Structure 1
Amino acid sequence: MQIYLDTANLDEIREAASWGILSGVTTNPTLIAREKGADFKTTIAEIANLVDGPISAETLSLDADGMIQEGIEYAAWHPNVIIKIPSTLEGLRAVSELARHNIRTNVTLCFNAAQALLAARAGAFIISPFIGRVDDSGVEGMQLIREIVSIYRQDSEISTKVLSASIRHPRHIIDSAIAGADIATCPFNVLKLAMRHPLTDRGIEQFLADWNSRN
């Protein structure tokens, strides 16, 4: 399973990229807005200089024509740009048309397997189920990943990748991998937590203590 970083913060991307584990980056309007004064196009270009992999840039229009227009514009910024489209009927129209232009899409805000199936049939490159937000609604988000993976694997015509989004903690990463997700996109703090364990810290302390106490 590939690991993406879910952020528009260049310092976070630069740091995570230095670990050698990043395959891509996902952004959205909220993440871009958090970077005060950041220009959307410039930010995407700078991310592309840090990570050689898919970079999701989300459209703002609610109608298909607007999404298509924005998608064509964003895709011209860099070959690695993937166009993020919402899981709506207008979104399906946009995904289908962009696919005819050989523009890859990431269908976002997916909350049920039916949305995922239709997005795949429309030609989505990636589907992004929001497991954390599904958990918040009282339903197990990871079950959604399992359902989508099962549906996709039964249809040889579907090549859409399953991306676990809205990841809240390191266990979501592991469970996504076990469930068969192709990608997990994670906040920076979750990636840092994934490499922390008290027994690791304790072991390092013991090794150093033993070394320093040698005769």
Structure 2
Amino acid sequence: MRLYIDSADVKQIALLNEYFPIAGVTTNPSILVKENRPYLEVLREIREIIGEEKELFVQAIGDTAEEIVEEAKFINNELPGNVIVKIPVTDEGLKAIKRLTEENIPTLATTIYTAFQALMAAMAGAKYVAPYVNRIDNLTGNAVNVVAEIAKLYKTYQFETEILAASFKNVQQVHAVCLVGAHTVTVGPDLIEKFIAFPATPADVTEFKNQWQKAYGLDKTNLVNS
């Protein structure tokens, strides 16, 4: 299991990257536009924060396979490090994924709503597929079942393509897709912070500290008392 930040907010990315086991950052056109500044400037800042080993996902917006391939090459030339090009699963998108796979440029097939879309993307050579969990729930039904079906198909036919589940509104959705076989997830900053939030945890920490201080005095730690 790997965790990605779904954001282009460099301050939030820097904070989460410091504290959480982050594997990289995913972006899309909507996320980048919100930053209201040149997108390459934002992406380069993200790269500086996460380093060159972690994956940075950038979406192509061309309509034809030729345009998408050209964009993918431009993105890879402009950004250092480990870059994954996101491509929507359309007929032109699949064509582009096939061509980029032949040229060893890794891709993520995005806007996945059905298991068969994910199967076609894997057959075309995509490194990742991104089922839109909350959107599937809202539009067509049970997203957890879709993710489970994708995982089963990939296991049956021994595809190396990984499921990078996206579009979450609550922690339970993330938990559910992890249980049925999602290899990775990409989640917004606000939701990531909720992963470890539970009322009993700080209460327990306070109780432990109070007991320790009663026994050994204020401001005493294991190091002081060793």
**TM class by smaller structure:** over 0.9
Residue aligning to 1:117? 119
Distance across 2 between alignment mates of 1:35 and 1:43: 8
Q: For residue 206 of structure 1, report the CA deviation from its aligned partner.
A: 2.9
Q: For residue 175 of structure 1, report the CA deviation from its aligned partner.
A: 1.8
Number of aligned residues: 213
Amino acid at match of 2:28: N
Identity of aligned residues (%): 27
SS for the counterpart of 1:205 is: helix
Q: For residue 204 of structure 1, report the CA deviation from its aligned partner.
A: 2.6
Q: For residue 207 of structure 1, report the CA deviation from its aligned partner.
A: 3.2
Q: Flag structure 1 segments of 5+ consecutive residues without an equivalent.
A: none
Q: Identify which of 130, 138, 141 aligns with 1:139.
A: 141
Distance across 2 between alignment mates of 1:174 and 1:204: 25
SS for the counterpart of 1:191 is: helix
**Paired residues for 1:197-208 under 5 Å:** 197-208=198-209
Amino acid at match of 1:78: P
2:171 is equivalent to residue 183 of structure 1: no
2:168 is equivalent to residue 167 of structure 1: yes
Residue aligning to 2:221? none
Encode CA deviations 1:115-138: one digit per residue, 9 max, x unaligned.
000001111011000011111125
Q: Flag structure 2 segments of 5+ consecutive residues without an equivalent.
A: 218-226
Distance across 2 between alignment mates of 1:79 and 1:199: 41
Distance across 2 between alignment mates of 1:146 and 1:169: 19
Q: For residue 202 of structure 1, report the CA deviation from its aligned partner.
A: 2.2
Distance across 2 between alignment mates of 1:56 and 1:72: 13
Encode CA deviations 1:11-36: one digit per residue, 9 max, x unaligned.
11111110140001100001001112
Residue aligning to 1:18? 18
Distance across 2 between alignment mates of 1:195 and 1:201: 11
Amino acid at match of 1:28: N
Distance across 2 between alignment mates of 1:66 and 1:187: 29
Answer yes or no: is the 8 Å Cα contact 1:48–1:80 preserved in 2: no
Residue aligning to 1:148? 150
Q: For residue 212 of structure 1, report the CA deviation from its aligned partner.
A: 5.5
Q: For residue 95 of structure 1, report the CA deviation from its aligned partner.
A: 0.5
SS for the counterpart of 1:163 is: strand
2:78 is equivalent to residue 79 of structure 1: no
Distance across 2 between alignment mates of 1:86 and 1:138: 18
TM-score by length of 2: 0.89
Amino acid at match of 1:197: F
Distance across 2 between alignment mates of 1:203 and 1:89: 54
Residue aligning to 1:49? 48
Distance across 1 between alignment mates of 2:157 and 2:144: 21
Answer yes or no: is the 8 Å Cα contact 1:58–1:84 preserved in 2: yes
Residue aligning to 2:36? 36
Encode CA deviations 1:82-134: one digit per residue, 9 max, x unaligned.
10100111100110111111100011110001100000111101100001111
Q: For residue 78 of structure 1, report the CA deviation from its aligned partner.
A: 2.1
Answer yes or no: is the 8 Å Cα contact 1:25–1:56 preserved in 2: yes
**CA, structure 1 residues 20+190, in 2 after alignment: closer, same or farther (shift >3 Å)?**
closer
Distance across 2 between alignment mates of 1:141 and 1:102: 31
